[in-house]
């Protein structure tokens, strides 16, 4: 499932960090009105000491969310090792994603409306991706380079490794320190997207990485993350939906 775009350029993904289903439903509707193509629920922000219960509460809210917005959802449980809030072991992560899939099936959530982020660094990534696909869910296979940006050749290799897993959307994020880092990512994206007829999402994080969000689609990146100011302001390195629509 690649979302149907309502505008030129890349798909716009709006991340939401809510800890209740009601809040998420409200913000999902706001994201749709603002022009987003996908709304991402960062489940790592609601996973606490009772992780399974938190996931169950989230899944219980998803059918209502899908009924009130036409947008597809992306469900992401980002671990601390990949820049997220879920400080869990690789084994625990694999178990939680498997449980999440079971819960989605039990809740009769339409898999055609839901994408699941799977961290490529996890030992169970390939089996989790395969299981999700068997159930009808699209998989975004993600990898984050938090320490910086490798050279262009290494970035191409990383993207190709992601694409070795059949049927997934490859998502590579890097931390940009300077514009040259952004250019390396864009050049690698263009090279790999020219060799594969598969969706690639390439994003450079941090204030220096904003150009990757504005211009990535010109190099073959299928999507970019953008934010909505819900009264707290945008952080450095974030770009608003409005600005991305103008890019």
pLDDT at 51: 63
pLDDT in tens, 128-164: 999 999 999 999 999 999 999 999 999 999 999 999 9
| Domain 11-246, CATH | 3.20.20.70
Return the domain boundaries, the chain: 11-246
pTM for the model stands at 0.94
Nearest-angstrom CA–CA distance, 35 and 46: 25
Q: Residue 122 has what DSSP assignment?
A: S
pLDDT in tens, 9-21: 899 999 999 888 8
pLDDT at 52: 63
Nearest-angstrom CA–CA distance, 25 and 64: 8
pLDDT at 53: 67
Label residues 168-186 b or e (16+ Cβ within 10 Å = b).
Answer: bbbbbbbbbbeeebbbbbb
* Segment 179-206 mean pLDDT: 97
Phi-psi region of 231 (alpha: psi -120 to 50; beta: other; left: phi over 0): left
């Amino acid at each position: 499932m690649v979302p149907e775009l309502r505008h030129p350029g890349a798909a716009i993904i709006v991340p939401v960090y809510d800890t209740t289903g009601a809040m998420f439903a409200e913000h999902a509707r706001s994201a749709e009105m603002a022009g987003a193509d996908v709304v991402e629920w960062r489940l790592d922000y609601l996973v606490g000491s009772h992780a399974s219960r938190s996931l169950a509460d989230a899944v219980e809210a998803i059918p209502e969310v899908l009924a009130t917005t036409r947008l597809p959802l992306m469900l992401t449980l980002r671990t601390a090792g990949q820049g997220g809030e879920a400080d869990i072991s690789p084994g625990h992560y694999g178990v939680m994603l498997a449980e999440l899939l079971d819960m989605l099936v039990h809740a009769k959530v339409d898999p055609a409306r839901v994408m699941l982020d799977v961290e490529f660094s996890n030992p169970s990534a390939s089996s989790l991706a395969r299981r999700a696909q068997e159930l009808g869910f699209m998989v975004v296979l993600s990898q984050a380079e938090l320490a910086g940006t490798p050279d262009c050749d290494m970035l191409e290799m990383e993207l190709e490794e992601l694409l070795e897993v059949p049927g997934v959307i490859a998502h590579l994020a890097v931390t940009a320190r300077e514009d040259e880092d952004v250019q390396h990512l864009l050049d690698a994206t263009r090279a790999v997207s020219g060799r594969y007829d598969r969706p690639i999402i390439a994003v450079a994080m941090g204030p220096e990485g904003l150009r990757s969000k504005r211009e990535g689609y010109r190099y073959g990146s299928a999507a970019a993350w953008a934010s909505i100011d819900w009264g707290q302001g945008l952080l450095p390195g974030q770009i608003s939906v409005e600005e991305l629509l103008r890019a």
